[in-house]
Amino acid sequence: MSSTEDLEYPHILIQYQNGFLISKVMFAACELGVFDLLKESKENLSSKVIAERLGTSLHGTERLLDACVGLKLLSVEVKEEGAFYGNTEISNLYLTKSSPKSQYHNLMYYSKTIYLCWHYLTDAVREGKNQYERAFGISSNDVFEALYRSEEEMIKFMYGLNAVWSICGRDVIAAFDLSPFTTIYDLGGGAGALAQECVSLYADCTVTIFDLPKVVEIAKKHFISPEERRIMFYEGDFFKDPVPEADLYILARILHDWADEKCVQLLRKVQKACKSGGGVLLIETLLNEDKSGPLESQLYSMNMLVQTEGKERTPKEYNQLLTAAGFKETEIKKTGKLYDAILGRK
């Protein structure tokens, strides 16, 4: 229901209309290195110094800095000599590249890839399919062939995926007690952030990252140290190749990429390979049963439309997929953050 205030003056619509302007201000400041510079400098800097150090125009930089102050991403101190800018705590922690909780790579993936696909959202709704062809001139039915169109693009994607686990990886891995499961396969485990959470939380487990050969190659080269003895790799295509036996399979942000039939196909394979007493841990963003929210999950589901052949689902929908594949007891744990966990038992 609209409030009387909104009908007098549509404040909420103006906020929505400006939503992407806000995102772009944050993305541009990250991309230009504003937050990194201010963290390194350890003192507040004037717009002139910031522009000189970043090699940007003075009048463009002044406006960007002021907009960041409006968004509470920067603080400003006005002295006689002029305005001096500094990071706010949240920017220092999440928007600088060097922070362990940095979201920089995720934001760059939003700015450079997702944003371009969303330009064609209307077409995606009309046609019911992803927009890689329009956004990047790639006509492939294989979502990941399109996503992995260059090594640079793959690295960007993998850094972006890892970033979110630095803020909610521990929550999803700790949602259930996984200590009884010692042989774990992370199917589509990508750059391995969740595998690292697993081995750091559970002393007795080994985790094998199962992913496409070119992803495994990059994960080994850029993300997982060879000294990490409890993380291993398995190169394969989980639709075409056999899935090895294990106690637990983690599928984090995997099923949301695919249509129902493919999800059941994959889950059946996992169910057959799973040791008795073992299980599957789905990690996904969950929609309310009546799909009335949460807003993030609704927006992510639209993102799956413009980028993949999948969608975000409700707990009941995941339960139906697990049951169709032969899993018995399923249990859900909500974390209160972006991603939740569902454990299905063989």
Ligand X SMILES: C[S@@+](CC[C@H](N)C(=O)[O-])C[C@H]1O[C@@H](n2cnc3c(N)ncnc32)[C@H](O)[C@@H]1O
Q: Minimal distance in Å, beta carbon 286 to ligand X?
A: 15
Does 257 bind ligand X (CB under 6 A)? Our answer is yes
Residues catalogued as catalytic: 256
Q: Indicate the residue among 236 and 326 with the shorter CB distance to ligand X.
A: 236
Backbone angles phi, psi at 298, to 5 degrees: -65, -45
What residues between 160 and 179 interact with ligand X by CB under 6 A? 161
Q: Indicate the residue among 188 and 315 with the shorter CB distance to ligand X.
A: 188
Fill in the per-residue mask, 181 to 200: x = in contact with ligand X (CB under 6 A), - = not in contact: -------xxx----------
Q: Minimal distance in Å, beta carbon 336 to ligand X?
A: 18
- Please pick, from the candidates 39, 105, 253, 313, the single residue that binds ligand X as defined by CB under 6 A: 253
Does 237 bind ligand X (CB under 6 A)? Our answer is yes
Q: Minimal distance in Å, beta carbon 341 to ligand X?
A: 12
Q: Indicate the residue among 269 and 346 with the shorter CB distance to ligand X.
A: 269
Q: Are 74 and 68 in contact (CB under 8 A)?
A: yes
Q: Minimal distance in Å, beta carbon 127 to ligand X?
A: 22
- Please pick, from the candidates 144, 185, 233, 327, the single residue that binds ligand X as defined by CB under 6 A: 144
- Please pick, from the candidates 50, 252, 322, 342, the single residue that binds ligand X as defined by CB under 6 A: 252
Q: Minimal distance in Å, beta carbon 330 to ligand X?
A: 20
CA-to-CA distance for 244 and 230, rounded, in angstroms?
17
Per CB under 6 A, the segment of 120-128, 174-182, 198-206, 246-254 that binds ligand X is 246-254
- The letter for the amino acid at 168 is C
Which residue has the CB atom at the shortest distance from ligand X?
A: 188
Does 310 bind ligand X (CB under 6 A)? Our answer is no
Looking at the DSSP bridge assignments, the partners of residue 282 are 251, 342
Q: Indicate the residue among 37 and 143 with the shorter CB distance to ligand X.
A: 143
- Please pick, from the candidates 11, 58, 239, 291, the single residue that binds ligand X as defined by CB under 6 A: 239
Alpha-carbon dihedral of residues 55, 111, 156, 310, nearest 10 degrees?
180
Per CB under 6 A, the segment of 10-18, 37-45, 94-102, 237-245 that binds ligand X is 237-245
What residues between 193 and 232 interact with ligand X by CB under 6 A? 211-212, 215
Does 105 bind ligand X (CB under 6 A)? Our answer is no
Q: SS3 of 249, please?
A: strand
Looking at the DSSP bridge assignments, the partners of residue 286 are 313
Its sign, for the CA torsion 275, 279, 281, 287, is positive
Per CB under 6 A, the segment of 3-11, 15-23, 84-92, 233-241 that binds ligand X is 233-241
Q: Indicate the residue among 189 and 315 with the shorter CB distance to ligand X.
A: 189
Q: Are 125 and 305 in contact (CB under 8 A)?
A: yes
Position of tokens 């922690």? 93
Backbone angles phi, psi at 134, to 5 degrees: -70, -45
Contacts with ligand X: how many residues (CB under 6 A)?
A: 15
Q: Are 188 and 211 in contact (CB under 8 A)?
A: yes
Q: SS3 of 328, please?
A: coil
Q: Indicate the residue among 190 and 315 with the shorter CB distance to ligand X.
A: 190
CA-to-CA distance for 217 and 239, rounded, in angstroms?
19
What does each C-alpha distance from 140 to 133, 152, 156, 217, 233 come to in angstroms?
A: 8, 19, 20, 23, 27
Q: What is the DSSP string of 36-105?
A: HHHHHH-S-EEHHHHHHHHT--HHHHHHHHHHHHHTTSEEEEEETTEEEEEE-HHHHHHTSTTSTT--HH
Q: Are 189 and 250 in contact (CB under 8 A)?
A: yes
CA-to-CA distance for 329 and 343, rounded, in angstroms?
8
Q: Indicate the residue among 117 and 252 with the shorter CB distance to ligand X.
A: 252
Instruction: Kindly list the residues in this chain that would bind ligand X in the complex (CB under 6 A).
Output: 144, 161, 188-190, 211-212, 215, 237-239, 252-254, 257
